[in-house]
A and B are shown apart, each in its own frame.
Chain A
Amino acid sequence: MRCGFCGYEFKEEEGIKGCSNCPMGSGCTRVKCPRCNYEIPKEPLWIKKLKRLFERK
């Protein structure tokens, strides 16, 4: 993933997820940049699968 604010590149797993105070934290679809905390939406699963399909071809 590439942070939309500071440009830091990181893996989705490295991002800060599930803010403990947030009532909607469990199903959150956003990831925070570990460098600047800017919030970035996660890539939906079906888009990831679609990309992988095209990469294979």
Chain B
Amino acid sequence: MALFRKRRRRGSCHAPVAEGVGGAKKVVLVGNPNVGKSVLFNALTGAYVTVSNYPGTSVEVARGAAEIAGERFEIIDTPGMYSLLPITEEERVARRILLEDAPDMVIHVVDARNLERMLAMTIQLLEAGLPVILVVNIMDEAERLGIRIDIPLLSTRLGIPVVGAAIAKKRGLSELQEIISGYRCSAYPVPEYSRRLENDIAEITALFQSRFSLSPKAVALLLLQRDEDMTARVQAREGKGFVALEAKIREKIYARRESFHLDLSLERRKIAEKLLAGVFRVPDKRKTTFGEKLSRWAVRPLTGVPLLLIVLYYGLYQFVGVFGAGTLVDLLEKRLFEGRFNPWISDIVKGAVPWPVIQELFVGEYGVITLGLRYAIGIILPIVSTFFLFFSILEDSGYFPRLALLVDRLFKKIGLSGRAVIPMVLGFGCDTMATMVTRTLETVRERIIATLLLSLAIPCSAQLGVIMALLSQSRGALLVWFICLLLIFLAVGLLAARVIPGETPMFYMELPPMRLPQLSNILTKTYSRMQWYFLEILPLFILASILLWIGKITHGFEKLSDWVQPVMAALGLPREAAVAFIFGFFRRDYGAAGLYDLQTSGLLNPRQVTVAAVTLTLFIPCIAQFLIIKKERGTWVAVAIGLFVSLLAFGSGYLLNQFLLTTGIL
């Protein structure tokens, strides 16, 4: 199969719809961020530059004039883009420039070190029928790494001018200027895909009655990828004929709904690989780096799942659970607060304030200092600090996008896609903000399922740390908790995917390289997250203590505990456990800290602590999360989720208690 087919261009390459300033030819620079576009722009234009917002957006676009071999050109520096299918506002603007400015030349700037990855966009630009010149930049760095690129051979294979350059050092600049000044284009090479894809494209293009600024093939592919902007443009041009076209597109999208994005990107990658065979040579000695191996292991189910379990065991269990929630909490909460600070401050307050009721507010059972401050600093702070440190290490290493790919297949079964890893991962930090992030998911169905699962089965960092510390003290308790949560997560997800109507989302992402986490990044991110968390929880913990104090002096709290008591009895828990659940409604982490107090007071046996941990993890979202669900998904969805989660939490707790009593496992 030929990689490219030559097509005669309709009209002239030099007859743009919108002419450049003073009739100058338009040259548009495109490419990924950080490939040297702006350096090339400055090298070509010098001081003649204007920077303004693209109409109707806040995205800045730089335009400048260049005089090459006595001819004047208008040079446009577009925002970074990864693909012709835009995701961000910047990419949308870059594509609009390509669509509406009708450039005489499109200079695609790529990084020589990542040529294979970036060539996919060259292929897209070519199939769009754009007059492309390829600049393989940062050649000096690539050569330093021992990479050799046969530029003439690449140019022959692509059928377009290709320049090897290191623009920052002016290398290749004069060659590029020569190409720009003498550029003539009469035919453009079009990449050939598999027979099935070409047939799909042909069936769609056969229905086009209008001409577009991009080639019919590129337009058809964008329509198949559900590009909203392109759909609107085609609809406007085609008028009544769009009905038949839309039906055909729907038919094709439905037939290939599971993997179209992936199939297309794999086909483009194959074309890029064939183009680069014998063109792109890496030194023989170059071995696959550990990062590359690790990256491969992380996305393959056979190695990825054990790797995930290792990460969870050492990162979450050993570091956050045992060290953070065990050693550090013991040091801060027991030795510092209970041993020294609380007795000292209690003496001072009792000496200074004669009224017992006011003493209670500050240093009583639910005192602002003895409970609120102790929970915030003594229990929650060391746990979230270790959690955020662990989180930042994983984040900086590039593990999260690999996790998204790993779980994508599983997530599809529960109505989600790998993209939902973003709110799920953020949910371990704080479920409230993660609920807000669900709005970025592709479909309404996906947003509702993700919101439900976040409310139900994703514990926040502090809750997770406390639970791991408590359950690690009894053999098998943590495993029981983990299995329960996993089963409920999957069962509810599967059920929700069947009950809630909607389309199966698609997910495809380009993997950034895996790298050794940088200490400065880790410390900065951990510090920033801790600062945010602490500033958020401290006032809320103090407020919760005040409310509990009011509840205590008015005996409302006792009545509430009495009211909850039958539920506690059904779960096999002591009456005092009601306090942790009431705390949990204020904040999940506050409830977890309450559970910690019960355990350290010796009020819970291993069975009870496991049942309480499972029920509290599944328990209704805290007030803040509930309010965000209401805002994001509406009152009815929020109420339905709240009721469902509460019933499921107590139902699961009851069943687990019965199971543990019958089997005597714990």
**A residues lining the B interface (CB < 8 Å):** 4-10, 14, 19, 21-24, 29-30, 34-44, 47
Contact = CB atoms under 8 A, between A and B. Distances in A.
Contacts of A30: 433, 532
Contact of B88 (A24, A34, A47): A34
B39 to A, nearest CB: 15
Given A5-B401, A34-B90, 14 more contacts: A4-B396, A6-B509, A21-B436, A23-B627, A30-B532, A34-B89, A35-B87, A36-B422, A37-B422, A38-B437, A39-B437, A41-B525, A44-B524, A44-B527
11 contacts: A8-B33, A19-B436, A21-B436, A21-B632, A22-B433, A34-B90, A36-B419, A37-B437, A37-B440, A39-B437, A42-B528
Nearest to A28: B532
Interface in B424-462: 426, 433, 436-437, 440
B295 to A, nearest CB: 12
Contacts of B524: 41, 43-44, 47
Contact of B631 (A4, A7, A10, A21): A21
Interface string B379-419: 00000000000000001101011001000000000000001
B520 to A, nearest CB: 8
Contacts of A34: 88-90
A38 B274 CA distance: 34
B33 A29 contact: no
B474 interface: no
B546 interface: no
B83 to A, nearest CB: 11
B528 A5 contact: no
Contacts of A21: 436, 628, 631-632
Given A21-B631, A36-B422, A43-B524, A5 B400 contact: yes
B408 to A, nearest CB: 14
B528 A41 contact: yes
Interface of B: 33-34, 87-90, 395-396, 398, 400-401, 404, 419, 422, 426, 433, 436-437, 440, 509-510, 512-513, 524-525, 527-529, 531-532, 536, 624, 627-628, 631-632
Nearest to A8: B33
A5 B507 CA distance: 14
B302 to A, nearest CB: 24
A44 B509 contact: no
A18 to B, nearest CB: 12
Contacts of B33: 8-10
A39 B401 contact: no
A6 B512 contact: yes
A41 B529 contact: yes
B528 A7 contact: no
B144 to A, nearest CB: 22
A9 B532 contact: no
A31 to B, nearest CB: 11
A6 B512 CA distance: 6
Contacts of A24: 536
Contacts of B398: 7
A23 B404 CA distance: 29
Nearest to A13: B58
B395 A4 contact: yes
Nearest to B525: A41
Contact of A7 (B401, B436, B440): B401
A41 B400 contact: no
B436 A22 contact: yes
A19 to B, nearest CB: 6
A40 B513 CA distance: 18
Contacts of B87: 35-36
A5 B419 CA distance: 10
Contacts of A41: 524-525, 528-529, 532
Nearest to A42: B528
Given A7-B398, A37-B422, A44 B628 contact: no
A32 B618 CA distance: 28
Contacts of A39: 426, 433, 437
Nearest to B510: A6
B160 to A, nearest CB: 27
Nearest to A22: B436
Contacts of A14: 90
The 8 closest A-B pairs by CB, nearest first: A7-B512, A41-B528, A37-B440, A4-B395, A34-B88, A21-B631, A29-B532, A35-B88
Contacts of B404: 5
Nearest to B392: A4
A40 B525 CA distance: 8
